[in-house]
Chain A
């Protein structure tokens, strides 16, 4: 069995996927609160059958987010919040509670604090946050305390997941193992955390992926030539 073709195919398949990951990162290079993705390749062993050695193959094994904090863009709006340090805002969606770093907030017509997708932002106790319609000045302290015209009226929820987080659309993350209040994060009012995609890194990965893919294709081509040579040699006998 010409295993080299199959070993190479697994990698080619993975490289195509990695290209999609790079494309998605670059497409989201202006998405507030976006965390870039990394494709992770893993080795797996395939048994070569009886009397044959087993073969090591490489393929796309998983992926990891790069959760490093990105730079903050100052907007000056009272309703733009960024987090410094580890932590997430808590949002109530139809599918359940979700975590996000995107703090471009608004007030709904019912006076609730909502995010840019219209989902209510939750306070430290897990309830929605109501802002009185007469608010003149909304101020959010570095610990998340909300004061409306100088009167303390709640605390915005900042949490840390207990375990791994999964990615959802709209820059949301879900925490299947639950979450707990975050201690280390500070809130910065009037700023938004930009996407942490580094264009330089992504473009260099893109070139790497493309060249690796072309190298893989060249290998397949050589293997194809080798096999046809074998076949014609066998025929001539």
Chain B
């Protein structure tokens, strides 16, 4: 009896949805986290009686036929691209991105990763690094004797020193954008990697071509809307229960069959 397997695919799909929702809720305070949404699509149809089958010599055909579906599968878990709100922290090295760009980070393997988490720090060598200590690909080193830095909206980093009134430009933080942001591969630690689907990273000056501005002293909050997640969770739980009811009903039908003799 196929209804059992079909209901099992339904339960598995709702289970995936709960997994995605629980990860969203777990990350409700993660800097620059973007909530994921699971999307589903129906599986192939079994053609029991194909529509268009000829039923007589005068050419009459079966109008609708019998096509029986075989269940559901998760099609994508896509990132929703709504920007989290920018929260003022006043931190000198806190960068919020007001737009769709990403910061480029150099991983120890030499590869590049991309992040919207602009909570930066200084390494012992004065380099600008992420919370995990990976340097920004722009390679900005803050001189040891600098007593303050400003980062403009277009990413220009200026260092100030005790003995000079004017600041000195020490580099520029650029932003990167992708043709298909949803195609980025999440690798954890708020970082993403480029893929075939995302297209190549396009490095741009902040504030140009829609990539967004850099805002010093701000941090992007998590984009998770907890109310929405909880209502989705309720829906997923009820969906799971409904599918389990199908399994119970199918089981009772099978039991009715076996009771015959």
Residues 75-97 of B at the A interface (beta carbon under 8 Å): 75-76, 78, 80-82
B179 interfacial contact with A, CB 8 Å: yes
Residues 110-137 of B at the A interface (beta carbon under 8 Å): none
| Binary contact track A126-153/B, C-beta < 8 Å → 1, others 0 | 0000000111110000000000010000
**Could you list some 16 contacts between A and B, CB below 8 A?**
A19-B3, A19-B246, A19-B250, A21-B69, A22-B246, A23-B246, A26-B242, A28-B72, A30-B40, A37-B69, A63-B66, A104-B39, A110-B199, A117-B75, A149-B210, A220-B260
B249 interfacial contact with A, CB 8 Å: yes
Is B256 within 8 A of A77, CB to CB?
no
List residues of chain B with CB within 8 A of the CB of A214.
252-253, 256
| In the complex, residue of chain A having the shortest beta-carbon distance to the beta carbon of B8 | A27
Stretch at the interface among B41-49, B141-149, B160-168: B41-49
| In the complex, residue of chain B having the shortest beta-carbon distance to the beta carbon of A207 | B249
List residues of chain A with CB within 8 A of the CB of B171.
none
Distance (Å) between the CB of A120 and the closest chain B CB? 13
Is A77 within 8 A of B81, CB to CB?
yes
List residues of chain A with CB within 8 A of the CB of B238.
199
Is A106 within 8 A of B2, CB to CB?
no
| A contact set with B: CB distance below 8 Å | 15-17, 19-32, 34, 37, 39-40, 60-64, 75-77, 79, 102, 104, 106-111, 116-117, 133-137, 149, 164, 166-171, 176, 199, 202-203, 206-207, 209-210, 213-214, 217, 220-221, 224
Is A29 within 8 A of B246, CB to CB?
no
Q: Which of B51, B64, B80 contacts A40 (CB 8 A)?
A: B64
Distance (Å) between the CB of B85 and the closest chain A CB? 14
Is A62 within 8 A of B62, CB to CB?
yes
**What 17 new A-B contacts, CB under 8 Å, besides A21-B68, A24-B71, A109-B183?**
A16-B1, A20-B1, A20-B69, A22-B246, A24-B69, A27-B6, A27-B71, A30-B235, A106-B78, A108-B180, A108-B197, A133-B179, A167-B69, A176-B52, A207-B249, A210-B252, A217-B259
| B contact set with A: CB distance below 8 Å | 1-4, 6-7, 9-10, 13-14, 17, 37, 39-45, 48-49, 51-52, 62-72, 75-76, 78, 80-82, 177, 179-180, 182-183, 196-200, 202, 209-210, 235-236, 238-239, 242-243, 245-246, 249-250, 252-253, 256-257, 259-261
> If A26-B242, A30-B236, A133-B179 touch, does A62 touch B63 (CB 8 Å cutoff)?
yes
Closest 5 CB pairs of A and B: A27-B10, A136-B210, A109-B199, A24-B69, A23-B6
Is A169 within 8 A of B45, CB to CB?
yes
Distance (Å) between the CB of A228 and the closest chain B CB? 11
Distance (Å) between the CB of A192 and the closest chain B CB? 9
List residues of chain A with CB within 8 A of the CB of B78.
104, 106, 116
Is B6 within 8 A of A171, CB to CB?
no
